[in-house]
Structure 1
Amino acid sequence: MATAKIAPSMLSSDFANLASEADRMVKCGADWLHMDIMVRHFVPNLTIGAPVIESLRKHSKAYLDCHLMVTNPLDYVEPLGKAGASGFTFHVEVSKDNWRELIERIKAKGMHPGVALKPGTPIEEVFPLVDGGLGPSTIDTAAKAGANCIVAGSSVFGAAEPAEVISFMRSSVEGA
């Protein structure tokens, strides 16, 4: 049986109450907190950065799973490591030439490396993954494909009972 890791995406949280939202998700059963870090060079949005991670770390012991949608992830290893990030997921599209060095630097800063794909990138670029749009209606497909670390934003934060959604997704992964 796979051990499920459920990671609500804090991008869907109330940023004015980030620490309490983090605490609420942990109390609802979240294993990790997913932190989307975006800059306008890679995607249209500009969101969370190292100062926010550092501030949140002071209020939460939760695993902070940082997903970087940036053009040069090497530039973020040092600041996110110092800020207290737990995981550092980069996109293969911007790291093809230096992914080995990037992974070694991530590990050297005490973080766990991960890789992600943008929609449209051939799956052959990395070991097969399942990513994005996960919630009660799609979790079974992802779980049957072998996914056990589930990132979900609006399906958790938009639910009347986030704890029930987290529990449902965990049960689906563990039952696959």
Structure 2
Amino acid sequence: MLRDLRKLPTDRVLVSPSVLASDFSCLGGEIVRAAQAGADVIHLDVMDGGFVPNLSFGPPVIRSIRPKSGLLFDTHLMIEHPAKYAAAFAAAGADHLTFHLECSDPAGEVIDAIRKAGCTVGISLKPATPPEAVFPWLEKIDLVLVMTVEPGFGGQSFMAGQLPKIAAIKREILRRKLHIQLEADGGLDERTVIPTASCGANLIVAGTSVFRHPEGMEEAIRRLHAATGVLDSQL
């Protein structure tokens, strides 16, 4: 199993189940189930109650679940000061850290802190942030995460207005010939993944639609993977 984001392909849809929608009473088992169902990576949502109005978990929980899976831990830091905590999350077992461009720390300092900690780096954009905001940083990062809901809560409805942002970022990645994962997170299921992938997003975060799919996780992930056929089709 690959735990280096830089070695993952960008030409097919990869599924990153968000454990925020799982049963926290048996979190380790839920991660095992997701891996067995065909997950490519595992998405961990870290919320501090400040940057977003909710709390989730921190390094101790990540450390406790790390032995349960050899999949890459795709860790989304929805926190005000990611530079301060990058080393702690890396030591706990996070392989990749994505921070928000809108956080309180300067982006360059956060990137340096994450690299120093030994993780790959991603930048996330809230819905109101324009795509051009991430362009100056593309050569320095490995992933861009476009939020298709407001960050902080699971189970929200997909915001179709974010599709042009995804397409704009993908065009810039291709123009510069960069190997960058373009991730989308929020309200994604077998229906909304089609337009999302067609705009160029290849790493799909799905919580409720995977962990609570009526036909089971394996079928949910299979249907998301099927969107590979429309990847980049509108670019």
TM bin, normalised by shorter chain, reads: over 0.9
| Matched ranges for 1:23-34 at <5 A | 23-34=32-43
- After TM superposition, the structure 1 stretch with the greater mean CA deviation from structure 2, 97-106 or 114-123, is 97-106
1:145 is matched with which residue? 199
Letter in 1 for 2:60: P
User: By how many angstroms is 1:3 displaced?
Assistant: 2.7
Mapped to 2, the partners of 1:174 and 1:102 lie a distance apart of: 35
Mapped to 2, the partners of 1:88 and 1:173 lie a distance apart of: 25
Report if the CA contact (8 A) 2:51-2:103 is conserved: no
Mapped to 1, the partners of 2:28 and 2:51 lie a distance apart of: 27
Letter in 2 for 1:166: I
Report if the CA contact (8 A) 2:42-2:72 is conserved: yes
Report if the CA contact (8 A) 1:66-1:86 is conserved: yes
User: By how many angstroms is 1:87 displaced?
Assistant: 1.1
1:159 is matched with which residue? 213
Letter in 2 for 1:66: T
User: By how many angstroms is 1:100 displaced?
Assistant: 2.2
Letter in 1 for 2:190: P
Deviations 1:154-175, CA, capped at 9 Å, x for gaps:
1111102211111111120254
User: By how many angstroms is 1:13 displaced?
Assistant: 0.3
Which sections of structure 2, spanning at least 5 residues, go unmatched?
1-9, 136-168, 170-181
Calculate the TM-score normalised by the size of structure 1: 0.92
Deviations 1:78-119, CA, capped at 9 Å, x for gaps:
100100101101001016x62223223212222111111122
Which of 1 and 2 has higher RCO (CA within 8 Å, sep 6+)?
A: 1
Percent identity between the two aligned chains:
42
Q: CA RMSD in A?
A: 1.7
Calculate the TM-score normalised by the size of structure 2: 0.70
Deviations 1:16-51, CA, capped at 9 Å, x for gaps:
100100000000000111000001111111101000
1:118 is matched with which residue? 126
Q: Is residue 43 from structure 1 mapped to residue 43 from structure 2 by the alignment? A: no
Which sections of structure 1, spanning at least 5 residues, go unmatched?
none
2:69 is matched with which residue? 60
User: By how many angstroms is 1:122 displaced?
Assistant: 2.2
Give the length in aligned residue pairs: 175
Mapped to 2, the partners of 1:98 and 1:41 lie a distance apart of: 17
